[in-house]
């Protein structure tokens, strides 16, 4: 292939591949041609592996669309764009052709995708291992103000993940299955090419899907990789989840051992060839599986345990006890009987080591605790933000910390700036480059140089204009894709993330009801306000769906009220995904990060908004704490209880929502409105009542104690935005210039220095 790094040659090649003039090509044809060109180019950057290679095992890789990203990373984007435009075509229309691979639920999956980008960019040898789900995260639809789900078929066209001839045999419930390897090239920004290895069965059959996203769960051969799990599920589903996990780790472990042997390992020295990062507990069975496989290769149990402990490291992404995976041993007896003796022996080793039953792998009710196995039998356990790691050490995993203080470490999450700045906000990227040069693209810390322009009114005006342009662009996209008209001259306040009670979209809901009353009473906000939401609720998560319903109903109540609608609009974006996030984030003024302190392990959306010049309205939770530290109190809106306070209240179990409801008239007014006449005319009584009762009777994530503080800070933010636009933009600039720390390049460099030591 020729050198495609100039526009003329790109033109020649594109029309050669398509066999016609570019004008005459459909976007589908151009997409296919470019996919091939990217593939060829990325092959040129495959490099030999020396020393340790990383395998990042994860049940989720929320990679998002790949074409533009790969073109940027390979240095081809500008040429392709110019070439298309010269022939009357646009990059934006081309992007629409590509289906989004939504192979993840949210933060954990997106983090894995950012990490792959950074590994390749830093020229580190590191592959992903995961599953090739035929349907990614469900497609969300709104009907009568309620969420419904349909399958997300993303396969079938030209695909990035290439089928290979490589297969591995995996035994599930005593039967042999053939796992096939698919390989997806991961291009680094001016860096090497690594691979995402995805396993699948040839026998999967999508005709099993019935109504919505329900499907027949009996025939494993037909349904194993049919769906990505939408983050919680019924019992039949949980069993299937174990099948999925084992397919991934067994095929993955076999592939790792095979690769290492090919590179010269005698397996006794496996730790010199491989590092495995276990992304939450979903891939934890890789530990007993590797021990089992090493046993088959003639290595004694004790040595195998030692090797595996040296190779593997574990990342914890959650503090919520209910999210830590525990399986009844019976399930494992059914699905992976070959692992049970290994797990039992590991449990015995733990019992020899400590008398503390709380760290046992198999508890007295015969429940297997995956996180416990991870901590005992890996050499590193890390949290994903400073506060999160402290909470793990001091409360949640304190017994483990006492046993192994040396294993615990923090790796504050990060995001790839290639997708979350260069790709999604080209105008801002250009401005930054014109001010401080291109170095920040590879060394994010250079963004700090922007501080020199904090008092430069010309620059601040340019920055404000870019934000406005991005708001206009989001408005156009909303009109085009969702038929919603918004006012780009209003303040855009965005809360986009999975719908979960601990993230407290319901707190935002109560604020908006409060604002509705204020407007009705003539207390107008300083400027029109647009509250934008993007969130999917797990299909079985009733209260989460009720919160979506209440927000959609309230949106309608307000839209139908001319008095209020000129000041307040609620927009709930349907089917929030990576593609939507790329449009929303650059257009945001105020980023809502309002989880109950101590509950959000890190958050990564908070970093994306900051990088794109939004100010954060948030609690001292997760990485918000580090964001606040970086930008200073004057450039962030912090409110609410501290994590210490919250942990203490949980300890005393003495929180009573009803008292707040009964003693605070503003709270009572907002909650009662949920089942008032206006809401009932747009929403469903059963759902609204259930939500109201939940808030008064339980409010497990303590919305009500933070309610007043939230209102005060949010109204302050709106007032500042209107009254001191220049100061606001200066704060935005400070946020951008301090975002460097939150690059996943920094995170990956830390993982490598402290845990992996790749290539050594």
The residue with tokens 């092959």 is: 43
Does the protein bind ligand 26Q through residue 56 (CB under 6 A)?
A: no
Pick out residues in 233-252 that bind ligand 26Q (CB under 6 A): 241
With the CA atoms of 275, 278, 279 and 281 taken in that order, what torsion angle do they form, in degrees rounded to the nearest 10?
180
- State yes or no: is 498 an active-site residue: yes
At 379, list the tokens. 């050499």
Spell out the SS3 assignment of 31-79. Answer: HHHHHHHHHHHHHCCECCCCCCEEEEECCCECCCCCHHHHHHHCCCHHH
Strand pairing class (615-618; 529-534): unpaired
Measured CA to CA in angstroms, residue 268 lies from 308, 392, 756 at distances of 10, 33, 18
The answer to the question of residue 603 lying near ligand 26Q (CB under 6 A) is yes
Does residue number 108 form part of the binding site for ligand 26Q (CB under 6 A)? Answer: yes
Question: Counting contacts by CB under 6 A, is residue 692 touching ligand 26Q?
Answer: no
Q: Is 5 a catalytic residue?
A: no
**Catalytic residue of the set 134, 407, 471, 503:** 503
Residue 127's CB is within 10 A of a number of other CB atoms, namely 23
Interface with ligand 26Q, residue 752, by CB under 6 A: no
Q: Which is nearer to ligand 26Q, 384 or 739 (CB)?
A: 384
Exactly one of 289, 600, 706, 745 binds ligand 26Q (CB under 6 A); that residue is: 600
With contact defined as beta carbons under 8 Å apart, do 748 and 117 qualify? no
476 as an active site residue: the answer is no
For position 624 contacting ligand 26Q by CB under 6 A, the verdict is no
- What is the closest distance, in whole angstroms, from the C-beta atom of residue 107 to ligand 26Q in the complex? 3
Rounded to the nearest 10°, the torsion over CA 493, 499, 502, 507 is 40
381 belongs to the binding site for ligand 26Q (CB under 6 A)? no
Active site residue 317: yes
Question: Is 263 assigned a catalytic role?
Answer: no
**Helix ranges (DSSP H) in 263-357:** 286-296, 301-311, 329-335, 340-353
State the catalytic residue, choosing from 45, 241, 423, 497. Answer: 497
Phi, psi of 371 (to 5 degrees): -65, -35
Q: Residue 681 is encoded by which pair of tokens?
A: 């005319």
Shortest distance (Å) from residue 321 CB to ligand 26Q: 12
| 229 contacts ligand 26Q (rule: CB under 6 A) | yes
Question: Min. distance of Cβ 355 from ligand 26Q in angstroms?
Answer: 30
87 is catalytic: no
631: nearest Cα among 743, 742, 735: 735
Catalytic pick from 412, 579, 604, 747?
A: 604
| Cβ 200 vs Cβ 225: under 8 Å | yes
Q: Which stretch binds ligand 26Q (CB under 6 A): 315-323, 423-431, 481-489, 678-686?
A: 315-323
Sheet strands side by side (includes 193-201)? 162-172, 175-187, 193-201, 126-131, 53-57, 274-279, 312-315, 381-383, 408-410
Please pick, from the candidates 124, 460, 474, 601, the single residue that binds ligand 26Q as defined by CB under 6 A.
601
Smallest separation, CB 144 to ligand 26Q (Å)? 28
| Interaction of residue 124 with ligand 26Q, rule CB under 6 A | no
Q: Is 323 in the site for ligand 26Q (CB under 6 A)?
A: yes
As a whole number of angstroms, the distance between CA 269 and CA 499 comes to 45
Catalytic, out of 241, 369, 498, 713:
498
How many residues of this chain bind ligand 26Q (CB under 6 A)? 21
Query: Does the footprint of ligand 26Q cover residue 107 (CB under 6 A)?
Result: yes
> At which residue do the structure tokens 């019976």 appear?
330
Asked if 347 is part of the footprint of ligand 26Q (rule: CB under 6 A), the reply reads: no
Is 718 a residue that touches ligand 26Q (CB under 6 A)? no
Active-site hit among 110, 608, 687, 692: 608
Catalytic annotation, residues: 317, 497-498, 503, 604, 608
- The binding site for ligand 26Q (CB under 6 A) comprises 105-108, 111, 229, 231-232, 241, 317-318, 323, 325, 384, 413, 600-604, 622
């Amino acid at each position: 292939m020729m050198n495609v790094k100039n526009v003329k040659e790109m033109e020649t090649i594109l029309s050669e591949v398509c066999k016609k003039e570019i004008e005459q090509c459909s976007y589908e044809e151009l997409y296919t041609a470019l996919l091939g060109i990217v593939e060829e180019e990325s092959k040129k950057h495959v490099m030999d592996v020396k020393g340790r290679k990383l395998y990042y095992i994860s049940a989720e890789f929320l990679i998002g669309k790949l074409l533009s990203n790969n073109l940027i990373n390979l240095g081809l984007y500008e040429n392709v764009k110019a070439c298309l435009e010269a022939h009357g075509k646009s990059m934006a229309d081309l992007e629409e052709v590509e289906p989004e691979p939504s192979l993840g639920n949210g933060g954990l999956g997106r983090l894995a995708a950012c990490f792959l980008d950074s590994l390749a960019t830093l020229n580190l040898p590191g592959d992903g291992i995961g599953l090739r789900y035929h349907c990614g995260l469900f497609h969300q639809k709104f009907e009568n103000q309620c969420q419904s789900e349909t399958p997300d078929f993303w396969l079938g066209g030209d695909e990035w993940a290439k089928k290979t001839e490589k297969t591995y045999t995996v035994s599930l419930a005593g039967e042999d299955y053939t796992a096939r390897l698919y390989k997806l090239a991961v291009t680094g920004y001016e860096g090497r090419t690594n691979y995402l290895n995805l396993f699948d069965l040839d026998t999967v059959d999508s005709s099993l899907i019935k109504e919505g996203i329900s499907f027949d769960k009996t025939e494993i051969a037909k349904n194993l990789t049919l769906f990505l799990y939408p983050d919680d599920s019924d019992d039949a589903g949980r069993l299937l989840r174990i099948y999925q996990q084992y397919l991934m780790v067994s095929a993955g472990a076999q592939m790792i051992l095979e690769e290492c042997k090919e590179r010269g390992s005698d397996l006794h020295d496996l730790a010199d060839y491989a590092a495995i990062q276990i992304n939450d507990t979903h891939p934890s069975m890789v530990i007993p599986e590797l021990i089992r496989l090493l046993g088959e290769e003639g290595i004694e149990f004790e040595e195998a345990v030692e090797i595996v402990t040296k190779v593997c490291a574990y990342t914890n992404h959650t503090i919520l006890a209910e999210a830590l995976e525990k399986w009844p041993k019976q399930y494992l007896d059914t699905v992976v009987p070959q692992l049970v003796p290994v797990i039992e022996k590991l449990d015995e080793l733990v019992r020899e080591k400590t008398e503390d039953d709380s760290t046992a792998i198999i508890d007295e009710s015969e429940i297997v605790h995956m996180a416990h196995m991870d901590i005992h039998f890996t050499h590193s356990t890390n949290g994903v933000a400073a506060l999160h790691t402290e909470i793990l050490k001091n409360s949640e995993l304190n017994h483990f910390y006492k046993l192994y203080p040396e294993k615990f470490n923090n790796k504050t999450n990060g995001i790839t700036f290639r997708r979350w700045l260069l790709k999604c906000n080209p105008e801002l990227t250009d401005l930054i480059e014109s001010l401080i040069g291109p170095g920040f693209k590879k060394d994010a810390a250079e963004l700090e140089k922007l501080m020199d322009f904090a008092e430069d009114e010309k620059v601040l005006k340019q920055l404000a204009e870019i934000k406005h342009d991005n708001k206009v662009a989001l408005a156009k996209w909303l009109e085009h894709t969702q038929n919603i008209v918004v006012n780009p001259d209003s303040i855009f306040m965005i809360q986009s993330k999975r719908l979960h009670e601990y993230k407290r979209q319901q707190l935002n809901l109560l604020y908006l009801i409060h604002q509705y009353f204020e407007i009705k009473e003539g207390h107008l906000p300083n400027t029109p306000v647009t509250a934008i939401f993007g969130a999917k609720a797990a299909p079985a998560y009733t209260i989460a769906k009720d919160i979506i319903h209440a927000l959609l109903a309230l949106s309608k109540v307000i839209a139908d009220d001319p008095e209020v609608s000129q000041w307040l609009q609620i927009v709930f974006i349907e089917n929030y995904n990576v593609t939507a996030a790329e449009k929303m984030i650059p257009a945001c003024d105020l980023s809502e990060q309002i989880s109950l302190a101590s509950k959000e392990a890190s958050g990564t959306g908070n970093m994306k908004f900051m990088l794109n010049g939004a100010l954060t309205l948030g609690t001292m939770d997760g990485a918000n704490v580090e964001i606040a530290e970086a930008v200073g109190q004057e450039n962030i809106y912090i409110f609410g209880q501290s994590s210490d306070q919250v942990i203490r209240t949980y300890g005393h179990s003495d929180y009573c929502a009803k008292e707040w409801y009964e003693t605070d008239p503003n709270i009572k007014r907002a909650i009662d409105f949920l089942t008032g006449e206006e809401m009932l005319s747009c929403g469903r009584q059963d759902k609204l009542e259930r939500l109201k009762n939940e808030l008064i009777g339980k409010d497990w994530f303590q919305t009500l104690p933070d309610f007043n503080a939230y209102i005060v800070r949010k109204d302050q933010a709106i007032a500042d935005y209107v009254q001191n636009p220049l100061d606001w933009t200066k704060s935005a600039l400070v946020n951008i210039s301090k975002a460097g720390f939150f690059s996943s390049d920094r995170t990956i460099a830390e993982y490598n220095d402290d845990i992996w030591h790749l290539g050594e």
